[in-house]
Structure formats: C-alpha cells, structure tokens
Amino acid sequence: MAMNQDITDVDRSLYDFKDDESDFYRLDEGLTEEIVSRISDEKHDPAWMREFRLKSLRLYESIPVPNWGPPVDELDMDHIATYVRANTDMKGTWEEVPDDIKNTFEKLGIPQAERESLAGVGAQYDSELVYHNVRQEVADQGVVYTDLESALTGEYADMVQEHFMKLVPPTDHKFAALHGAVWSGGSFVYVPKNVTVEIPLQSYFRLNARGAGQFEHTLIIVDEGADLHFIEGCSAPKYNVANLHAGCVELYVGKNARLRYSTIENWSKNMYNLNTKRALVEEGATMEWVSGSFGSHTSYLYPTTILKGDNSHCEFTGITFAGAGQNLDTGARMVHLGKNTSSYINSKSISKSGGISTYRSSIEVARSASGAKSSVSCGSLMLDSESRSDTIPAMDIRTADADIGHEAKIGRIGDDAVFYLMSRGISEEEARAMIVSGFANPVSKELPLEYAAEMNNLIRLEMEGM
C-alpha cells in the first residue's frame, strides 16, 4: 500500500522496482506431475492434499480454456515457474525479514500501515509468506490469522480440510484446477462467534520473480455473529514476459455475521490475473466486496456470492480502470438461494488509451429465493475512441416473488463539466482527472482513507498526459 498521500509525488517506480532473485529457490518452468509433486514435497503436504493436487492437475489438463472473455493464448504454462521461494522462511517480526524483502514491503508502505491501522498483516513474496503477524489483543479474542500451510497441519487442520476448495472446486474452471494443483501461500482467518475485529486485517501479495506465477489461497471463516474487514493488496514489477496470478479466495460468512473484503489490485501490466473469489453467506449475514482493478495485462475477476441463508445480503462496489495494453474483464455474480435475500451491485469502469474494459455479471434467483431483491447499477466512462467498453450482464430469475432492477449507462466526460472546471482556473488535464476521480467516488468512499488515497493516486497516474 502506498502511504505517500501527496498525489503529485507518486511515480510508477513505486511498484516497478525489482529485487535480485539469484539466490532464490525456483522450480523449473512448466506444469507436470513431477513439478506438482515437488511443490507438495516442498510444502510437506498431508497425503490428502498431495492427492488433491494431482487430481487437480488432471482436471487442468482436461478442461478447455474459456471460449468467452479476453484471450489468454499468449499465456504459455511451459514458460511459467509455478513455485519460487525467497531465501527466507516466514517471520513474525519485520526485523527478522531479510533486508531486501523488507525494503520491498517498506516501499509499499506495509509495515507502516500495520503500525497505524491494521490488526494483522500477512506478506507474501512470490510463492511463500515471508511475514505474518497479528496484534496480541486480536489474538486474545480468539481470532486466528495465520498462513494456510501452518493451518493445514496445525490445530485447525480439520477445519481447513472441511472448507478448502469446497466453494471453488477444481472442476469449476481451468484456472481453478490450476490453482488446486500448484497453490502456495495465502492466509487462513477464523473469527470466533460474536467477535468483532475492530480494525482490518491485511494480506499483501508481491510477485517479484520474472516469468513466474503466484497461486495463494485465502480461506476466511467468520463465525456466527462475528465481524471482520479484510484487505487484500497486490503488486508486481513489470517484465517483458508473461506473469500469472491464479489465486483463490473462499469466504464463509456465518449466521448474522458480516465480512467486508476489500481489494486494491495493481499487478504489473504483463500479468494475467485469473483469480477466483467466492463467498457463502448464511442466514441474516452480510457480505461486502469492495474492489479496485487497476493493474494486469489481462484480468478475469468476478467475485461470486452465494446467498444461501434467508435474509442474507451482499453488496459489491467495484471499479476497473483499463489503460493502454490492458484487457480487464471484471464484474460480479450473485446467486440467491435463501428467502428474502438481497444484493446490490455498483460497478464503474473507465477505458482509456486503447484499454478494454468489460463488465460481466449474472444475477441468479432460484425458485427457492422468494422475496429476493437485487439492484444493479453499472456505469462506464470512455475517455477516447481507441478504447473499448462492453457491458454484458445476465439475469436468470425463476420465481415471481422477486424484485430485480438493472440499469447501465455508458458515455464520456461531458464537455460542459470540463468547461465549468476550466472556467474556475483548473487545467483541462486536471479537470478531466477530477471528473474521473468523482466518477470513482462511490468506490473510494467505501475504502479506508489511506487506501482511498492510493486508489486516487492510481487514477491520477493513469490520467497523466490525457
């Protein structure tokens, strides 16, 4: 996370620096049974997980690449290293983390953010976590926040086995199967019944290695009546070869619980971001997604919410900014199963300099979901005619007792608005950036202040030279 809040001082070097990886442990590029077995060995998997990985690999080989969505033809798994480990194990204090890696996270503002506004931090560097810590008072509440590998063999092993890739099975799609085969790193969070975590937890994922993939798995269980805000950040330096991120997020929101999951995604523009996020929401519970997609060469990202319990609720607030060379296919999916469930999607997208932004969604209301309500509002801003913006929403409604509304608008920055601001002495470039920031306001106002500032910085960066 960038803590520099003076937007005029931000430059791209903030995210684009690279560390020397000559002494890192790196498995061969490609995807074979041998490589998957070696990952399993490295991670000391329990037997069931080893078998799970190999089964997922077989599924990956049999499932075709999606025929919809942006092209992924240039993503060659034979040239992706699926496991890269820095020369350190996971530490509990920043002082213990090797200097070069610590400096990386210092530049990204993570330790400072932890001191000032977070209840716990997990920092992943390439394939493994290098730092994990949770405040003592939060741990004293019974909150578990640890790396997934530790959880897999520790006290919560049964809970992990019960939930791991049950919401996103490897049969779901090709990249879920890939994730099942080579996943590494990520966090496990358990918030006990009726516990409110007052300040957010954050995981930050940094992919430093050239031509590598990152496949972290985040598993969060928020028990009955509990409350959590979890923040996810990610970045990578830019290379001239493809990098891949195929993470997976599984969220279980218990009865009357609340979970907010915020993401500021700023992968480098050589990244294929093929991420899968899904939440299961029980009776009376609330799921909130806040999502900002700024980076990546290609993205497939559609957080899915299954409103299983009666009276459960979900809100999705997202923004996508597609600049030169980017093809970002983002949106959300809501599945209404319980009675009197409700969902709200507020999505914004911006396309400029030849960028392609696609909003894709589905609202599915099952026969059992009587009293369901859903509202979708989708706005797209085109900043030039080299760019492209498509809106592809679907609604599948199977009960009469539902109230579904959808509206979408596409357009450009109005000349009147620019003229008005210019008449107040603001330059045209500044005026356009202000209008775009205003357009993104529904998303930024949902973020904690420092993250909103980072998002505005990213928008400002993208708008430079317009």
Query: Which residues are near other proteins by CB under 8 A?
Result: 67-71, 327, 329, 356, 358, 360, 362, 367, 370, 380, 382-385, 387-412
**DSSP code string of 194-241:** T-B--S-EEEEEE--STTBEE--EEEEEE-TT-EEEEEEEEE----SS
| Whole-angstrom distance, CA of residue 11 vs CA of residue 351 | 21
Give me the residue label for tokens 């930050």.
Answer: 204
Instruction: Work out how close the CB of 416 gets to other proteins at its nearest, in angstroms, rounded to a whole number.
Output: 14
Which residue, 406 or 460, is less far from other proteins as judged by CB? 406
Which residue, 230 or 300, is less far from other proteins as judged by CB? 300
Give me the residue label for tokens 């009293």.
Answer: 371
Which residue, 137 or 386, is less far from other proteins as judged by CB? 386
Which residue, 394 or 422, is less far from other proteins as judged by CB? 394
Contacts of residue 129, defined as CB under 8 A and 6 or more positions apart, other chains included, come to: 90, 122, 123, 147, 185, 186, 187
**DSSP code string of 274-291:** E-EEEEEE-TT-EEEEEE
Give CA separation, 139 vs 92, 192, 258, 406, in Å. 14, 11, 19, 43
Contacts of residue 16, defined as CB under 8 A and 6 or more positions apart, other chains included, come to: 237, 238, 268
Which residue, 356 or 434, is less far from other proteins as judged by CB? 356
Instruction: Work out how close the CB of 178 gets to other proteins at its nearest, in angstroms, rounded to a whole number.
Output: 18
Which residue, 236 or 383, is less far from other proteins as judged by CB? 383
Which residue, 170 or 185, is less far from other proteins as judged by CB? 170
| Whole-angstrom distance, CA of residue 138 vs CA of residue 230 | 14
Which residue, 113 or 378, is less far from other proteins as judged by CB? 378
Instruction: Work out how close the CB of 377 gets to other proteins at its nearest, in angstroms, rounded to a whole number.
Output: 10
Count of beta carbons in the 10 Å neighbourhood of residue 394: 12
Instruction: Work out how close the CB of 365 gets to other proteins at its nearest, in angstroms, rounded to a whole number.
Output: 9
236, with CB counted inside 10 A (0-12, 13-18, 19+), is: buried
Give CA separation, 14 vs 103, 253, 422, 457, in Å. 12, 35, 31, 11
Instruction: Work out how close the CB of 266 gets to other proteins at its nearest, in angstroms, rounded to a whole number.
Output: 20
| Whole-angstrom distance, CA of residue 42 vs CA of residue 292 | 34
Which residue, 368 or 441, is less far from other proteins as judged by CB? 368
Taking the mean position of all CA atoms in its chain, how far away is CA 138? 24
Instruction: Work out how close the CB of 364 gets to other proteins at its nearest, in angstroms, rounded to a whole number.
Output: 8
Give CA separation, 339 vs 283, 306, 371, 372, in Å. 9, 12, 6, 6
Instruction: Work out how close the CB of 174 gets to other proteins at its nearest, in angstroms, rounded to a whole number.
Output: 13
Instruction: Work out how close the CB of 194 gets to other proteins at its nearest, in angstroms, rounded to a whole number.
Output: 34
Contacts of residue 147, defined as CB under 8 A and 6 or more positions apart, other chains included, come to: 90, 122, 129, 132, 185, 186, 187, 188
| Three-state DSSP class for residue 368 | coil
Instruction: Work out how close the CB of 345 gets to other proteins at its nearest, in angstroms, rounded to a whole number.
Output: 13
